[in-house]
Structure 1
Amino acid sequence: MTDLPTFGAGIWHFATYKDRYATDGYGPPVGLLEQIDRAGAVGELSVVDLNWPFVGFDGTLDDVKAALASNDLKAIAVTPEIYTRDFVKGSFTNPDPAVRKKALALMHDATEVALELGCSYVKLWPGQDGWDYPFQVNYRDVWQLALDGLKELCSAHPEINYVIEYKPREPRVKIVFPSVARTLLGIERIGLPNLGILLDFGHSLYGQETPADAAQLAIDHGRLFAIDVNDNMRGWDDDMVVGSVHLVETFEFFHTLRRNNWDGVWQLDQFPFREDSVQAAKQAIRFLKAIHRALDVLDDDALARAQAAHDALAAQRLVQNALLTSMAGLESA
């Protein structure tokens, strides 16, 4: 078997969640250091993505470093919270120049934290950048504001990578970076080497993309810097445990990464509202190991012949053989 990939998770995987119904949360609050301890309890995570600022945490960055070290974890990324109440009309695209300045200051601060932690990238999820109604915005203006803000940020820190996590909607009805194609268009317009894409598998499903195709397009442009994996019912960004719904498409996604020798972290972005967060991460990694084994046993030559002939049934037989053989070994994994 080829070497296992590095596994990671967003630290929010181990938090407690709220929604518009359970406004008091689905459990007691979980502090940052306890979240890190829960990530460590999974046993097979190597890296975590941390939100910035550390909301509700009154310790120091050294305390965070110590907690990561004691759990044998490293920070792979910092995600600045540019999608909160302060930025309800956008971060990069906010109509108020003072708010845009505040958002960029937060991103600069997050970058300094990322550099201090030795992270690989800063993740940008501009969830409030977009619109909700026809005629609400001038589309040319908001697009240009997004590109100008990104260029300013990335130009100021050439020593670290930035990734855009695109998503079709939520919290805005329309987000300015909704798809792999539009995100690539913006990145190529900016033209800086340290700006790429974080492809969230669930966002791609939710956007009615084929995630493997989206990954291939990003790879072909040299811009697939990171991935997050999860699952959903395709009607919403449910952030379910990876592999729980779209097993074959998940396999195809990772096959595309393997075929292109993409060797980044296999990172979890799951929201186990009602499940034990440590067990949800363990189950996800258990499944991802089966996917990894299936990639090893898949007959790639036969698959290439089937794909060259556009023979769907032959391709499906090969995929099912590889998946079912590998999945059968899960209980002993």
Structure 2
Amino acid sequence: MKCSVFDNYGLRLVFDEEVIKTAGQLVSGTAIRDIRVQSLRPPVEKLLERLRKTFEPKFSAGVWFFGEVSSRFHLPYKDDLSIEERLEIAGELSNYGLKAVEAHYPWEINEDNVHLYKDLDKEFGVKVSMVAGIGGDPRHRDAQFGTISSPIKRVRDKYLESTIRGLELVKELGALAVCWPGIDGYTYPLGTLFYDMWDRFEAAMAEALDKVPGVRLAIEPKPYEPAINNIYRNTSDGIIAARDIESRLKNPENIKLLQQGHAVVGLNPEVGHLRMAFEDVAYAYARVLREGRLAHVHLNSQPLGNFDQDLNVGVVGVETVEALIFVLRLYGYTEYLGIDVNPERMPVQVALANSFNAVHLSNGVVDNLDHEAVLEHYFNPHEKRGDLENQLTLARAKGVDTSKFVPKEVIKAWEEKFSGL
């Protein structure tokens, strides 16, 4: 392939291609997986190898949407389910590609019920990919002015202690800690002491990570909801927060990880949150991958702007899923693809099956591309005008391997089982 080679002036990585061998593996003595491969700048031949290599999605899903889903506008349309009932569904879905579940600490997963999640792993091989809710519980009255960023000391101290306990559970499970600071932020720009807000949050999170070294935290940015303005509004904010939290770390175990090029603080970008902020999905994920910080992925559908809808994957902005899968494959992503949807009016099994199938379809479109021709278009755009557009059309028209799809008969049976009002 004809491409102009250049000297990447000034780039300094503390690791080399040796990290390819350890990609996706646990770092010894920690709960951190090695994702440094994301930061490599491989030659075009290696990029082609990645694109041509079979990509097997590892699906996870949040137990929070398995049963009753609350809304400020109407009563729940579904019955509430116990954690046991939700995990029973997860076990059933393991037959169709579910590899892990996600849960919030302390209201969905905690010290008293963690044995249920361990039993799920033993019986069905479904692990806990992430423990969310790290940083504070936004549902409580005392969190209305923030959790670990609260200007009220007793509130801040309470949620710092909860964060430490949550991280201890994360380490026990070998999982990822995820912080979606939904209620931390501000209402009015005038009168907000921004430095204090960011400093309080970052200082508390760094302190908690130093108390429980060897775990990875992932920030999940969002522009608004439930806070009028969330503390970290977009992907760039999340990257800056990750750097700022890491700059405060003192524990020798964490310092050693940073010196080896591991991200102690990564990101868990959600497609819906990106599109609420009018971000380009593939671009935003690539920014995180470039830093070696893409610890987890949350997939759903969302129109640009609007309230957070959490629609099934692949029903809005289908091209964004294809572009995202292409970028994940191109840059060596090895972690989970988390489904984060809000199936108010359909069985959760149907919503997840539809989302799995949509990901497989987009992955199939990427398989169908002439990968060399796609990269050739990038390197020689002046000679390949219109070729990429044609490649996409041909890839979408070509038959996709549907053997990994959840069969329509299975989906129909789920629909019929839960069809009555």
Q: TM-score, structure 1 length as denominator?
A: 0.92
The amino acid across from 1:197 in the alignment is L
Partner of 2:99: 46
Aligned to 2:146: 90
TM-superposed deviation, 1:195: 0.7
* Aligned 8 A contact 2:301 2:310 in 1: yes
**After superposition, where does 1:90-169 map in structure 2 within 5 Å?**
90-119=146-175, 121-169=176-224
CA distance in 2, matches of 1:233, 1:155: 39
Aligned residue among 123, 126, 131 for 1:78: 131
Q: Which has the larger displacement, 3-12 or 58-67? A: 58-67
- 2:65 is aligned to 13
Is the CA contact (8 Å cut-off) linking 1:31 and 1:56 kept in structure 2? Answer: no
Identity %: 23
Who is 2:77 aligned against?
A: 26
1:264 aligns with 2:335: yes
Match status 1:178 vs 2:233: yes
CA distance in 2, matches of 1:248, 1:46: 25
Aligned mates of 2:214, 2:122 — CA distance in 1 = 24
Aligned to 1:210: 280
- The structure whose residues are more often strand, as a share, is 1
Contact 1:131 1:137 in 2 (8 A): yes
1:58-87 superposed Cα distances (whole Å, 9 cap, x missing partner): 963323322443343111111125322231
Query: Please, which runs of 5 or more residues in structure 1 have no aligned partner?
Result: none
CA drift at 1:96: 0.6
1:86-142 CA deviation, whole Å, 9 max, x = no partner?
Answer: 3111112111111111111111111122222232x1110111111112324211111
CA-atom RMSD, angstroms? 2.3
| CA separation of 1:195 and 1:59: change in aligned 2, threshold 3 A | closer
Provide the secondary structure at the position in 2 that maps to 1:2: coil
Which ranges of structure 2 fall in alignment gaps of 5 or more residues? 1-52, 250-262, 408-421
The 1:316–1:155 alpha-carbon spacing in structure 2 relative to 1, beyond 3 Å, is farther
Distance in 2 between residues matched to 1:180 and 1:253, nearest whole Å: 15
After superposition, the Cα gap between the structure-2 partners of 1:149 and 1:132, relative to the gap in structure 1 and judged at 3 Å, is same
Cα displacement (A) at 1:305: 2.7
Task: Report how many residues are paired.
Answer: 331
Q: Check if 1:296 corresponds to 2:348.
A: no
Pick aligned residue for 2:320 from 249, 252, 256: 249
Do the aligned partners of 1:33 and 1:64 also contact (CA within 8 Å) in 2? no
Tell whether the 8 Å contact from 2:272 to 2:302 is kept in structure 1 after alignment. Answer: yes
Match of 1:284 among 351, 355, 359: 355
Structure 1 counterpart of 2:418: none
CA change 1:197–1:231 in 2 (3 A) is same
Range with greater deviation from structure 2 (193-202 or 48-57): 48-57
> What's the offset of the Cα at 1:180?
1.0
Counterpart residue number, 1:61: 114
Q: What does the per-residue CA deviation read over 1:147-177, in whole Å, with 9 as the maximum and x for residues that have no partner?
A: 2122112222221111001111100111111
CA contact (8 A) 1:32 1:54 kept: no
CA distance in 2, matches of 1:267, 1:133: 33
**2:387 is equivalent to residue 314 of structure 1:** yes
Q: Please, which of 249, 260, 266 is the counterpart of residue 196 of structure 1?
A: 266
Q: Which has the larger radius of gyration?
A: 2
Relative to structure 1, the CA distance from residue 109 to residue 329 in structure 2 (aligned partners, 3 Å threshold; closer, same or farther) is same
Q: Distance in 2 between matches of 1:118 and 1:187?
A: 20
Question: In structure 2, what is the equivalent of residue 2 of structure 1?
Answer: 54
- Opposite residue 228 of structure 1, the aligned amino acid is H
CA apart distance, 1:56:
10
